Amino acid sequence: MKKFAVIGNPISHSLSPSIHGIFAETLGLDIQYDAVEVEIQDFEEKLNSLFSQGYIGLNVTLPLKEKAFSVAKKHTETCSAARSANTLWKEGGVLCADSTDGAGLMEDLISKDLKVKGSNIVVLGAGGSSKAILPSLLKAEPKEVIIVNRTISKAKNLAEIYNNDKVKVSHGSLIDEVPFEIDGLINTTSAGLLGQELIYPKNLFHFNPWSYDLSYGEKTTEFNELAIKNNISRVHDGLGMLFRQAALSLKIWTGLKPNAEEAMKIFRI
Ligand code: ATR
């Protein structure tokens, strides 16, 4: 039996054990997938202990993704660009890291026919999740991206890192209007999860952009409620991204990529 786990804090509500359970069933794999809660100061010790107990792959979730990046010795290109890791494994005793969040998001956008290439995209939020998805988003060659955040300095910092010859990346506040016709909208803020009101640019919903919230839940997310209220016709939550980043992790660990779409159908039954 192959052993895996997700590490985070809090972790009890994580869907990863159920998702990987479905993947294992559909692939005919014999796995154990645990949820492990750990304090940030004990993270490295816990990692070593899990690997020495025979775990072969670990997922890392909030608030440990940046810490996971810093303790890993070898990183994929995407992981280095994101400076965040959600997937860990060992190769010849060396701790390796990847970040599958961005690729998971991009796969989900494609599956939902939400166009990025040549589009004007607004990314709301400049925290860990925003950082994790930006490299993959930019690789898909949008026309222009504006990172809009409550703390403007954080958006400015990210925009400076990611602005490049192919894609203009700029920053903005939650109060100023977005200076282009918006084609797509990605919410990475935790305002809804925290039960807080999100102030947003006045013209955010003016052009009926597609709207993708990285959050998910049994109920419609706060941000999607807002989008629906503003008559947005293409509104999606982050459940698809969650399944797809998980499928990409399992592929890294086992070489087998589960069908995330099928797994989602089983999950919803
Ligand atoms: P995560 O890893 O989920 O991205 P994070 O790094 O704490 O979590 O980032 C949370 C993001 O949500 C940040 O962009 C944060 O804005 P600040 O950088 O100004 O803190 C944003 N956020 C959280 N609560 C918010 C609120 N009530 N209104 C607007 N933005 C909010």
Cβ atoms of residues 154 and 177 within 8 Å: no
Same-domain check for residues 87 and 189: no
Distance, CA 67 to ligand 1 centroid (Å)?
Answer: 18
Domain-embedded: residue 109 = no
Give me the CATH number covering residue 36: 3.40.50.10860
Q: 67 an active-site residue? A: no
Atom of ligand 1 nearest to the CA of 62: 2
pLDDT tens digits along 189-214: 999 989 999 999 999 999 999 999 99
Contacts with 59 (C-beta within 8 Å, 6 or more apart), sequence order = 4, 5, 6, 7, 16, 86, 87, 88, 246, 249
Same-domain check for residues 226 and 166: yes
Same-domain check for residues 191 and 255: no
Domain-embedded: residue 108 = no
Cβ 191 under 6 angstroms from ligand 1: yes
The pTM score is 0.96
Q: At what angle do helices 260-268 and 16-27 cross, to 10 degrees?
A: 120
Same-domain check for residues 210 and 253: no
CA dihedral 175, 177, 183, 187 (to 10 degrees): 0
Domain-embedded: residue 105 = no
Same-domain check for residues 128 and 223: yes
Give me the CATH number covering residue 162: 3.40.50.720
Number of domains composing the chain = 2
Distance, CA 155 to ligand 1 centroid (Å)?
Answer: 11
Same-domain check for residues 93 and 149: no
Atom of ligand 1 nearest to the CA of 130: 4
Catalytic residue (one of 2, 3, 46, 65): 65
Distance separating alpha carbons of residues 231 and 211, to the nearest angstrom: 11
Same-domain check for residues 74 and 151: no
Domain-embedded: residue 189 = yes
Same-domain check for residues 250 and 222: no
The pLDDT profile of the chain, 269 residues, written as one tens digit per residue, is 999 999 999 999 999 999 999 999 999 999 999 999 999 999 999 999 999 999 999 999 989 999 999 999 999 999 999 999 999 999 999 999 999 999 999 999 999 999 999 999 999 999 999 999 999 999 999 999 999 999 999 999 999 999 999 999 999 999 999 999 999 999 999 999 899 999 999 999 999 999 999 999 999 999 999 999 999 999 999 999 999 999 999 999 999 999 999 999 999 87
Distance separating alpha carbons of residues 38 and 47, to the nearest angstrom: 10
Same-domain check for residues 211 and 246: no
Same-domain check for residues 77 and 142: no
Range of the domain at 79: 2-100+241-268
Cβ 198 under 6 angstroms from ligand 1: yes
Eight-class DSSP state of 10 = S
Distance separating alpha carbons of residues 88 and 56, to the nearest angstrom: 9
Distance between start and end Cα atoms, the chain: 27
Same-domain check for residues 137 and 180: yes
In the chain, which ranges are E strands? 2-8, 31-37, 55-60, 74-75, 87-91, 94-98, 120-124, 144-148, 168-172, 184-187, 210-213, 235-236
Cβ 151 under 6 angstroms from ligand 1: yes
Same-domain check for residues 262 and 209: no
Domain-embedded: residue 79 = yes
